Structure 1
Amino acid sequence: MTTTASPAPPRLGLRENLPQFILLVAVNALVGGMIGQERTVLPLLADQVFGIGAFTASLTFIVAFGVTKALTNLAAGALSDRYGRKPVLVAGWLIGLPVPVLLIWAPSWWWVIAANVLLGVNQGLTWSTTIVMKIDLVGPARRGLAMGFNEAAGYLALAATSAATGALAAEHGLRPAPFLLGLAFAALGLGLSTLFVKETVHHARHEARTHIPRHGEHDDALPGRQIFTLTSFRDKALSAASQAGLVNNLNDSLAWGLFPILFATSGLGVARIGVLVALYPGVWGFGQMITGGLSDRWGRKWLIAAGMLVQAAGIALVAATTDFAVWAIAAVLMGLGTAMVYPVLLAVIGDVAHPTWRARAVGVYRLWRDLGYVAGALIAGITADLLGLRAAIWLVAAITAASGIIVAIRMYETHQRHPAPASTKG
């Protein structure tokens, strides 16, 4: 009588899954490049090609992007739990393919808004899924490091593409050359995801079976409504992370939509604007390769709180000057502060959420985080129309500082080498 050996369980860890991890880092770089194709050029298109005068109206493309990305983030977690991670990733790339074509041929601003609706869906499905897949692969010990590399890849590609599109626009015009990069990114991302990325949901299920709960940890079987309320309001760490993520993207919305206009109205050319626009996510991207791993050693809370305050200082410096060199320093501060925050917030979600509902908790967090694009476009746009560009920037600096104070007061430390003696949730 022959017996069939049961398949070996998936192995968790960065080293054990290094080829797939590196592939997912590369895929997320392409995801970031899809946003980077817009960062320098689209605000200038609104102003110079389509004649969108009011700041609030010109930022409608960010509102469209933010709403669709936020809602898609929420759906992505549930879809990846139900159908697996890879199908969601591939679907996101299919939806992203038409975006550069729409931007190249857009005869009216409504085409640009439609392109950003599709871009929001693309980003929500692809970026959310690469996050969840990396958390699946590395297990609990290296989440901060994994998120640092994931976010670094995306935002370094965003920065490089922002600089490249600025140079292309200066040399060849605002269309079509800058958006041909996006078309190449979408095609390559779809090919890699379809042919080479492997499913990781089995790793999450294996971790759930071997998971040792911490004292006071939330149950493993929770309905979607309870996951939403825990992540949004009830759990102190999850809710503090959600509001910090929202405010972080609120100020990123300001940088995306209004900084290029401020720089242009101050006399900078497109190439120099591209340098400033790229510097902020460039420092952000490089920094995350360090800060994610540091949070595995030092803890999450105080990196996040300090990072929000550093961002606030950088934003205030933009409002306070008109000098290119000082603006460059401000962009570095904003990038450094964001690097201290962005991957660490995701690691907080991974720390607290049980493996069986972690993907959905990531989706809820990213819902709130990307609603920050909407809040930023509306708050900054309306304030700029009523009181001027610099007033809008000062207001966002104040909101960002307040968010850091909330983290310092409300969040508990989530990265613990040993079980906590008592629960601090509530």
Structure 2
Amino acid sequence: MNATPRARPTAHPDPNAAPAPSPAAYGPRDHPIVLGLRQNLPQFVLLVAVNALVGGMLGQERTVVPLLGKEVFGLSGYTAGLAFILVFGLAKAATNYLAGTWMDRFGRKPVLVAGWVIALPVPLLLIWAPSWGWVIAANVLLGVSQGMTWSTTVVMKIDLVGPARRGLAMGFNEAAGYAAVAVTALATGYIAQAHGLRPEPFFLGIAYAALGLGLSTLAVRETREHARLEATSHVARPDGRHDHLHGDLTNRQVFIQTSFREPALSAASQAGLVNNLNDGLAWGIFPIIFASAGLSVAKIGILAAVYPAVWGLGQLVTGGLSDRVGRKWMIASGMLLQAFALAVIAAVDSFAVWAAAAALLGAGTAMVYPTLLAAIGDVAHPAWRARAVGAYRLWRDAGFAAGALLAGVVADALGVRAAVWVVAGLTALSGLVVAVRMYETLHRPEAVVSGGDADG
């Protein structure tokens, strides 16, 4: 007896999605491929949790590793001591770029899983390191892993939500990652105060890596088809600004547009580089400044946590806010606020004022970080968006390496506070570049504006 074939369920209308998904727009388990935060909420929440674990892997180093270099391995030169951040930044930057191409070629999920596999040995190397060279090797692996895992969670969330909630998606992604950085930095500070710099603080990293690999392998679903669906309904800007960027571009064209030629993309790339130059400085130099003032490891952990905590939680507000007020001026003003906060840190010598300045630095970074990613998503066509994100993140995370190198050289020559002053000046200049060169990238297609937002 022949049963009547059961019709596939029809997806709920969504202004971000194509009007009528074709039968091909279904996943391997008959999950309808639709765009929107509400429609993809379980996977979105899962990816937020996965990125929190990614951030935790970074957070395990924020308080403890700079102190390991000074107290355990006896490093005296700032440039040598910051080498672990330099190699981390170079490895992560290069992997970011490659990850975009790999995601387009192989899919998002395989890149995510591979990144977690590479992360597994990192905490073990930090625990067992008999020399500073082992710490350097661990940070090469950490940079490769972060480039694969963090880049993938960014692109997968952009894939899922579509254009109407891009800033909000990036706010949640970056908030989860950097809140985890803060919590882990604080926790490892207290653990190190009670039990020493090794091995106990790095037990958290072992747990994060195992859980991240398990969730990514067993529960995360592929999102590449969501990007392909968005490409079929991509709406051009009425001003024609992006007409020359429609369709697929070669890898070389994507890199040139993102890095140099396209005004908004290139302005975002330089701002991202300077922003992470700040973070490299904060990671490698701030604990040393605080320790030289006689603060305990626990208090250093508090200060190391305040900056990424405000940064992380603030993005829950700033990401969605940029969907309403626009990207350009949030980025420019956020860079200027960071410059002011760095100047305060360089000028004072007080725990309370340092804490307030770290909070301001986090607030400025929260204004910038998800908004830059959203701006890249605004301009880049879905067909080459993953590669544009990879190119942007190459420049952004090269800032870690630039910050470590610049801060080390200036600190060795003129002192650690001089290094902070130099970076404060560069940050202010970057904000002015955004104000002059970037145009407003936020554009809501007329159908979205008139039809409301299905994500509510």
TM, length-normalised to structure 1: 0.97
The C-alpha deviation readout for 1:26-73, integer Å capped at 9, x for no partner, is: 000000000000000000000000011100000000011000000000
Match of 1:306 in 2: 333
Q: CA RMSD in A?
A: 1.2
Query: Is 1:391 paired with 2:418?
Result: yes
Displacement of 1:363 in angstroms is: 0.1
Residue 146 of structure 1 pairs with residue 169 of structure 2: yes
Whole-Å separation in 2 of the counterparts to 1:221 and 1:27: 30
Give the SS at the match of 2:38. Answer: coil
| 1:376 paired to 2:395 | no
Per the alignment, residue 220 of structure 1 pairs with: 247
2:235–2:445 CA contact under 8 A, matched in 1: no
**What residue ranges of structure 1 are gaps of 5+ in the alignment?**
420-426
- After TM superposition, the structure 1 = structure 2 runs for residues 169-184 of structure 1, keeping only pairs within 5 Å, are 169-184=192-207
Kept in 1, the 8 Å contact 2:25–2:225? The answer is no
Aligned residue for 2:375?
348
Deviations 1:345-400 (A, max 9, x none): 00000000000000000000000000000110111100000000111110000000
Q: What are the superposed Cα offsets for residues 185-221 of structure 1, whole Å, 9 maximum, x if unpaired?
A: 0000000000000000010111111112222321211
Question: 1:243: Cα distance to partner?
Answer: 0.2
Q: Which residue does the alignment assign to 2:17?
A: none
How far apart in 2 are the matches of 1:287 and 1:193? 26
1:110 alignment partner, one of 115, 133, 138: 133
**Cα distance in structure 1, aligned partners of 2:120 and 2:80:** 26
* Contact 2:88–2:139 (8 Å) recurs in 1: yes
Matched letter for residue 405 of structure 1: L
Quick check: 2:25–2:229 contact (8 Å CA) kept in 1? no
Aligned residue in 1 for 2:52:
29
Quote the residue 1:234 is aligned against.
261
Aligned partner letter, 2:255: F
TM-score (norm 2): 0.91
1:100 matched to which residue of 2? 123
* Aligned match of 2:282: 255
Q: What amino acid sits opposite 2:51 in the alignment? A: N
Q: Which residue of 2 aligns with 1:89?
A: 112
Structure 1 runs (4+) deviating above 6 angstroms are 1-5
* Residue 47 of structure 2 is aligned to residue 20 of structure 1: no
Q: Which amino acid aligns with 1:344?
A: T
Partner residue in 2 for 1:424: none
Contact 2:323 2:442 (C-alpha < 8 Å) held by counterparts = yes
| Aligned mates of 1:400, 1:30 — CA distance in 2 | 29
Q: Percent identity at matched positions?
A: 69
**Which letter does structure 2 place at the counterpart of 1:319?**
A
Contact 2:172 2:316 (C-alpha < 8 Å) held by counterparts: yes
TM-superposed deviation, 1:418? 4.9
Question: Is residue 264 of structure 1 aligned with residue 287 of structure 2?
Answer: no
What are the Cα deviations for residues 10-36 of structure 1, in whole angstroms up to 9, with x where unaligned?
A: 110000000000000000000000000
Shift of 1:342: 0.1
Q: Tell me the residue number matched to 1:336.
A: 363
What is the number of equivalent residue pairs in this alignment? 419
2:30 — aligned with what?
Answer: none
For the residues of structure 1 that align with 2:25 and 2:442, how far apart are their CA atoms?
A: 29
- 2:154 paired with 1:131: yes
